[in-house]
């Protein structure tokens, strides 16, 4: 495993599009600078929050390239999304990322084809053997249909360049088991904003966050408080942001967070099918939450 533990707040970046459906590079740079100025610890482009299934191969590489260009001079890590249910294609993408100088990859468990636990182990092992990049295993059963069990993750953690897990099972008992079972230096990261605070109490060290798209400074501060054991401060920030953490999933992610970023003046509100704009009544609820936490005051630079 790597000598430096991955920790803190990493943002699962949204990908802005123009009205004609093309990649909006100017808006993406604004979003990146919003993150960097907010003090996030690392960035995660081209994950599922970034609508990775609908990005072309060229767009994927461009988004990662732009993220590295903005983040590296500031000393901020970049962990690019490289997951899927075709192991060979994941390996190809990971090898291309090596040339873009990313710090590592976030690799979601294979979805739809529902591999066994042995299949999951062999999938991640094959990726790890094919790339020199460190790997975060992303466990999100609600989207993939398969759970990476703690016993499987323990086997994976013994592989040198599998260094972390993004735990989004929603099962707090499993998260406690993972924190207990992982070796020193292996990072347990939350995949759910609302569980960031309790995961710190269990021994986790951070979050790959949707909420930090909108509130990078606040989520970074929550993580900094959690890392130093200041749970009173972490709880204060958590309670303020909890309505935002919840409203971000009133419809399928990343629809609400992109709508919020548009309300904040950072991006245009455009999606690619099969995602569509929010229902008007839900958008009104989102706007009210943004106003309640003071985020509509953010302005485009």
Q: Residue 210 is part of a domain; what is its CATH number?
A: 3.20.20.70
Q: Which residues face 9 on adjacent strands?
A: 207
Helix, coil or strand: residue 73 = helix
Residue 260 within a domain: no
In the DSSP assignment, the letter for residue 124 is H
Total structural domains within the chain: 1
Of the residues 166, 258, 271, 283, only one is catalytic, namely 166
Read off the pLDDT of each residue in 184-204 and give the average, rounded to a whole number. Answer: 97
Active site residue 111: no
Instruction: Give residue-wise pLDDT tens across range 203-262.
Output: 999 999 999 999 999 999 999 999 999 999 999 999 999 999 999 999 999 999 999 999
Residue 248 within a domain: no
Read off the pLDDT of each residue in 272-294 and give the average, rounded to a whole number. Answer: 97
Q: Which helix (H) or strand (E) holds 86?
A: none
CA atoms of 280 and 77, how far apart (whole Å): 37
Quick one: pLDDT at residue 5?
Answer: 72
Residue 199 within a domain: yes
Q: In the chain, which residue ranges form alpha helices assigned H by DSSP?
A: 25-38, 57-71, 87-99, 117-130, 141-144, 150-157, 172-181, 196-202, 216-227, 231-247, 255-263, 280-292
Domain containing 111 equals: 8-241
Active site residue 97: no
Band of the pLDDT at 300, cuts 50, 70, 90? Answer: very low
With vertex at residue 299, the alpha carbon angle to CA 272 and CA 74, rounded to the nearest 5 degrees, is 85
Quick one: pLDDT at residue 296?
Answer: 77
- Cα end-to-end span (Å), the chain: 39
Is residue 3's pLDDT more than 60? no
Of the residues 97, 121, 138, 271, only one is catalytic, namely 138
Instruction: Give residue-wise pLDDT tens across range 49-76.
Output: 999 999 999 999 999 999 999 999 999 9
Quick one: pLDDT at residue 250?
Answer: 98
Residue 137 within a domain: yes
């Amino acid at each position: 495993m790597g000598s430096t533990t991955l920790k803190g707040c990493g943002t699962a970046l949204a990908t802005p599009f123009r009205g004609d459906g093309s990649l909006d590079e100017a808006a993406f740079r604004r979003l990146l600078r919003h993150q960097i100025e907010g003090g996030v610890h690392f960035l995660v482009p081209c994950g599922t929050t970034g609508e990775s299934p609908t990005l072309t191969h060229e767009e994927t590489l461009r988004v990662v390239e732009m993220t590295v260009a903005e983040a590296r001079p500031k000393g901020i890590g970049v962990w690019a999304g490289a997951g899927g249910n075709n192991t060979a294609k994941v390996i190809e993408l990971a090898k291309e990322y090596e040339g873009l100088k990313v710090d590592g990859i976030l690799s979601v468990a294979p979805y739809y084809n529902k591999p066994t636990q042995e299949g999951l182990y062999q999938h991640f092992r094959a990726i790890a053997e094919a790339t020199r990049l460190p790997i975060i295993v992303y466990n999100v059963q609600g989207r993939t249909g398969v759970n990476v069990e703690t016993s499987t993750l323990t086997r994976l953690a013994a592989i040198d360049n599998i260094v972390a897990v993004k735990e989004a099972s929603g099962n707090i008992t499993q998260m406690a088991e993972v924190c207990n079972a992982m070796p020193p230096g292996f990072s347990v990261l939350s995949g759910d904003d609302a569980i960031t605070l309790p995961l710190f109490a269990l021994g986790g060290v951070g979050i790959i966050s949707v909420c930090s798209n909108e509130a990078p400074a606040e989520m970074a501060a929550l993580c900094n408080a959690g890392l130093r054991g200041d749970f009173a401060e972490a709880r204060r920030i958590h309670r303020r942001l909890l309505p935002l953490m919840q409203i971000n999933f009133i419809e399928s992610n990343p629809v609400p967070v992109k709508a919020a970023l548009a309300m904040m003046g950072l991006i245009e509100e455009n999606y690619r099918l099969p995602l569509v704009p929010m229902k008007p009544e839900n958008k009104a609820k989102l706007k009210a939450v943004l106003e309640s936490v003071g985020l509509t005051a953010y302005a485009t630079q």
